[in-house]
Amino acid sequence: MSFNEKFDQHGVWRREFALRLKLLAEWMKDHDLLDAAVEEQLRRLESQVRSDKVMVAFVAEFSRGKSELINAIFFAGYGRRIMPASAGRTTMCPTELGYDVDVPPCLRLLPIETRLQKQALMEWRVVPEKWTRIDLDVNDPAQLARALEKVAEVRHVTQDEARALGFWHDNNPEDNPRVGPDGLIEVPKWRHALINIAHPLLKQGLVILDTPGLNAIGAEPELTVSLIPQAHAVVFILAADTGVTKSDLSIWREHLITEGDGTETRLVVLNKIDTLWDALSTPEQVQAQIDKQIATSAEILGLPRSQVIPVSAQKGLVAKVTGNEALLQASQLPALELALGQGVMGQRQKILRTAVAGGIGELKTEAGRAMHIRRRDLAEQMIELRSLRGKNVSVIKHMRSRIEQEQAEFDTSGAQIHAVRSVHLKLLRDVFNLLSTPTLKAELAELTHALKQPGIKLGVKKAYGKTFSRLREGLKKSQLLSGEIQSMLTASFRQLNAEFSFSLQAPKEPELIRYENDLELIKRSHLKYLGISNVLKLSQAEFSERLVRALATRLRMVYESALGEVELWNKSAASQLDAQLRERRRNFGRRLEAIERIQQAASGLDERIAEINDQEKVLNELDAKLMELTSHLLGAPSLPSTLQDATAATPNAALTEAA
Ligand SMILES: Nc1nc2c(ncn2[C@@H]2O[C@H](COP(=O)(O)OP(=O)(O)OP(=O)(O)O)[C@@H](O)[C@H]2O)c(=O)[nH]1
Ligand SMILES: [Mg+2]
């Protein structure tokens, strides 16, 4: 299966999942099983699957054919070249292609001058009015291609301006761009481009990142420390005729080497194999040349040969546009698409499904608990009613006053439950604090200070190390506190269970330690970035400023996820208490009502017992149905029979609506 097909299949699964989740939510609502924690869990699952994005980044030195390859893999359907690809430097700014329903098809461009301000790229993303917008007509490929030419636009500025924008460095002149005869320097006109089009793959959550060459990547720290490391796959492109050049190697070392796992998410493409096709050589001789280039490139990059894929993007594009099957095979593009499909999509699907399975498990536990309480209440009522069989009026009366007394006692115990809640919240506040934005900001203060010092900063690595070990300490402390809260909850719940025969169970605290891993990855991407060739750049205040900003935004994302987990945990504990209180109050009502009926008519008792029997049956059915609905959610992408029935008339309409 090619990448595109695999991605399509992934999309079908996600749409079905969303539909099934919606059905489950409605069903739970109908049966009064939707408490706050369940609702939150459902919301999370839905947004996790709906907003799941797969980012594929194309990274290489200029003119290796990144844009052409994107055209060939994703846009051949438009019948022409869509992304500008031409000799020399073409793509001047990082270009992200994706789809957001809430935004009309358009190209948004962030002016390069925004670099003079301190906001990080992530922060600019949320202020669309600061971007230049050009509407796109997806039905007019020529207009589309014309509009996209903007990403190649340049400006000519003085040396001072170029320096301020981060394109001129006095201390490593060999990297500086050429000065024109007029003394001006060519710089990109735009800092970042966002393309929003309803392309089928983009609609399903694919995000493509096209990047400019070496020095341009380095100029935007966010690209190096955030976008590229977070991409699910990176395609690194070499040219078959030149092999690995010095600057290819710098990009590879600086931006793409990942330690440990993750090598399957790095794909190396040996592009332009058509330049080796030659009428004077036999096909075997050509193949031998390609093989030799693969072997050398793999060796230099330290990869197995199987991970270097030969291809001709240009011939692949031409073949697809003209429908030339022989040329398509010769371009070897299908083999690359296959590798992308297996590697990237296979991985992504596995990860998403595992995450989703965890969420569904918790959902089942939450809903199961509500049913358990109901079942137990029914059983107790049954015992109570059976004990009334053949008893006289005064016994029944006595029973009534006993229930009323129990109810009154229970009502006064509200304070005790309230106390547990407030202790819980108070303790939680400390955890929230530890993971809050102000805390994070304070932790970063020292590093910010170190980076802001004028001149070359030899102590920066040390400052990074210290900052990250403090952040790790913070996480450890949050984990410790969470553990203490869990013990407190367990003890309080046990006490409440004993006193009121509740069946509360303290939910397991989140594993915040997990986020240490994220911290480690962030730290590594920063240190790697600083280590190689950027130490000199650090002497520039603007560069350091941008670096800290990029770091802060990335860390904030990690901390927000951690906070989200703590919140869900809190909701689960609170909603258990609420649910048991509510059920208990209802239970008193039902018991009193039963006594009333028994007092009014002799047949009342038997009728009520029969009713309880029925309710038990209904509960068993609910239980089975819950199992069924949740296991469907975990299943393979094919509609189960019940859903097929429900959507048989207009299956597509139902799916589209759910999506
Ligand atoms: N012969 C041949 N030329 C190719 C191939 N792929 C790309 N090219 C050409 O190489 C040139 C550069 O291609 P681009 O796609 O613009 O390269 P890029 O990596 O995006 O370069 P920048 O945007 O400058 O970073 C263009 O003229 C392409 O037509 C190929 O497979 N064979
Ligand atoms: Mg390009």
Delimit the domains of the chain by residue range. 16-48+355-658, 53-153+189-331
Structure tokens given for 565: 């987990």
At residue 536, the pLDDT reads 64
Q: What is the pLDDT of residues 404-415, one digit of tens each?
A: 998 888 888 778
Q: Are 485 and 509 in contact (CB under 8 A)?
A: yes
Length of the chain counted residue by residue: 659
Q: Counting atoms of ligand 1 from 1, which one is nearest the CA of 212? A: 25
Q: Check: CATH 3.60.15.10 for 53-153+189-331?
A: no
Does residue 272's CB lie within 6 angstroms of at least one atom of ligand 1? yes
Residue 152 CA: which ligand 1 atom is closest? 23
DSSP category for residue 453: S
Q: Are the beta carbons of 451 and 463 closer than 8 angstroms? A: yes
Say if ligand 1 is within 6 A of residue 274 CB.
yes
Check if the beta carbon of residue 551 is closer than 8 Å to that of residue 444.
yes
Given a cut of 70, the residues of the chain with pLDDT beneath it are: 1, 217-218, 258-264, 454-458, 531-539, 635-659
| Distance, CA of 220 to CA of 114 (rounded, Å) | 12
Please tell me the distance between residue 60's alpha carbon and the centre of ligand 2 in angstroms.
Answer: 9
The tokens for 630 are 């949740």
Q: Indicate the pairing of strand 154-157 with strand 185-188.
A: antiparallel
Considering every ligand atom shown, identify the ligand nearest to the alpha carbon of residue 235 and give its number: 1
Return the pLDDT at 271. 98
Contact indicator for 543, 452 with CB cutoff of 8 Å: no
* CB-count exposure of residue 628 (10 Å: 0-12, 13-18, 19+): exposed
- Of 59, 62, 63, 208, which is best to mutate to test ligand 1, by the most ligand atoms within 8 angstroms of its C-beta? 63
User: Is any ligand 1 atom within 6 A of the Cβ of residue 63?
Assistant: yes
Give residue 211 CA to ligand 2 midpoint distance, Å: 7
In this predicted structure, what is the pLDDT of residue 604? 81
Residue 502, class by beta-carbon neighbours within 10 Å (0-12 exposed, 13-18 middle, 19+ buried)? buried
The C-alpha angle 439, 444, 450, rounded to 5 degrees, equals: 155
**Ligand 1 pocket member 62 (CB < 6 A):** yes
> Which residue minimizes the CA distance to atom 25 of ligand 1?
62
Mean pLDDT over each residue of the chain, to the nearest integer: 85
56 Cβ contact list (under 8 Å, min separation 6): 206, 207, 208, 209, 231, 232, 233, 234, 235, 340, 344
Judged by its nearest atom, the ligand closest to the C-alpha of residue 69 is 1
Give CA–CA dist 300/303, Å, rounded.
8
Report phi then psi at 362, rounded to 5. Answer: -65, -40
Q: Is the CB of 235 under 6 A from ligand 1?
A: no
Mutation to probe ligand 1, out of 59, 61, 67 (largest number of atoms < 8 A from CB)? 67
Determine the distance separating the centroid of ligand 1 and the alpha carbon of 250, expressed in angstroms. Answer: 20
| Other C-beta atoms lying within 10 Å of the C-beta of residue 126 | 8
Whether the model pTM is above 0.95: no
pLDDT of residue 535: 64
* pLDDT of amino acid 531: 66
SS3 sequence of 579-616? HHHHHHHHHHHHHHHHHHHHHHCCCHHHHHHHHHHHHH
Q: Which atom of ligand 1 is nearest to the CA of 92?
A: 23
DSSP 8-state code for residue 109:
E
How close is the Cα of 595 to the center of ligand 2, in Å?
80
Q: Dihedral of the CA atoms 636, 641, 644, 645 (nearest 10)?
A: -160
Residue nearest to atom 8 of ligand 1 (CA): 65
Centre of ligand 2 to C-alpha 562, Å, is 37
Say how many Å lie between the CA of residue 90 and the centre of ligand 2: 5
Enumerate residues 6+ apart whose C-beta is below 8 A from 41. Answer: 359, 362, 363, 366, 568
Return d(Cα 15, Cα 10) in angstroms, integer.
9
User: What's the gap in Å between 89 CA and the centre of ligand 1?
Assistant: 9
pLDDT (tens digit per residue) in 329-379 = 999 999 988 888 777 777 777 778 888 888 888 888 888 888 888 888 889
Distance 68 CA to ligand 1 centre (A): 5
Q: Is 64 close to ligand 1, i.e. is its CB under 6 Å away?
A: yes
At 658, list the tokens.
């759910």
Distance of alpha carbon 505 from alpha carbon 484, whole angstroms: 15
pLDDT at 9: 81
How many angstroms separate the most distant Cα atoms in the chain? 112
Q: Residues within 5 Å of ion ligand 2 by Cβ?
A: 66-67, 90-91
Asked if residues 166 and 540 have their Cβ atoms less than 8 Å apart, the reply is yes
Indicate whether residue 60 lines ligand 1 (CB < 6 A). yes
In angstroms, the CA 568 to CA 575 distance is 10
* Residues 6 or more apart whose Cβ sits within 8 Å of residue 356: 17, 45, 48, 49, 633, 634
How many angstroms does the Cα of residue 69 sit away from the middle of ligand 2?
9
Ligand 1 near 65 CB (within 6 A): yes
Other C-beta atoms closer than 10 Å to the C-beta of 268 total 22
CA of 527 to the centre of ligand 2 (A): 28
Ligand 1 proximity of 275 Cβ (cutoff 6 Å)? yes
Residue to probe by mutation, ligand 1, list 71, 75, 80, 90, most atoms within 8 Å of CB: 90
Q: What is the pLDDT of residue 357?
A: 85
